Amino acid sequence: MTHKLYNELSWLWPFWEAPEDYADYCNHVVYLISEHSQIPVRTILNIGSGGGKNVFNLKSQFEVTGIDLSPNMNALAKELNPNCEFLEGDMRDFSLNRTFDAILMDDGISHLTSRSDLTSAFEIAYQHLRPGGVMVVGPDNTTETFIQNRTVIHTLDQQNKTRQPRCRLH
């Protein structure tokens, strides 16, 4: 079913949430990058960039490149962010022959369910990370938070730096 959401049902993605709804999360990502990078960050590789909503929020501060397995999601991302580069590739096995100051892997990492897939994704990401750079990984579902057939959308409470439930989809 997940593959349908990113392929034949991808046309629904723009209706899911507005790009601006990702701003709080992206501000948190920027904070983590600024706190932990040992080099100035100008370029970011967004691995599993989906429909480009994180890129929409990050592109004002960084040069962002997205990579995603779904050509349909890449098309949506390019439409939303025409001045950014989006490439097709599997987060477990791609090569761009260049490095980035920072890497963001968020929701897409949740689709990897084996140790070997996770290892491959982290090794590939590391190969694309400039020395001194930083990688931010933020899965949307973990063993502790996953409930079958339920999606909870969170917002980041900037004052307390905690994620608060905003709405539940069943």
Residue type for position 49: S
Quote the longest CA-to-CA distance of the chain: 43
Domain 2-8+22-169 has CATH 2.40.390.10: no
The model carries a pTM of: 0.77
94-115 average pLDDT score: 89
Is the alpha carbon torsion for 48, 86, 116, 26 positive or negative? Answer: negative
The residue type found at 150 is: R
pLDDT at 18: 81
State the Cα–Cα distance between residues 48 and 114, nearest whole angstrom. 17
Q: Distance between CA 11 and CA 141 in Å, rounded?
A: 23
Per-residue pLDDT at 7 exceeds 60: yes
Q: How far apart are CA 15 and CA 18, in angstroms?
A: 7
* Lowest mean pLDDT, pick from 44-58, 65-79, 127-141: 127-141
Identify whether the C-beta of residue 54 lies closer than 8 Å to the C-beta of residue 26: yes
Domain locations in the chain?
2-8+22-169
> What is the pLDDT at residue 164?
47
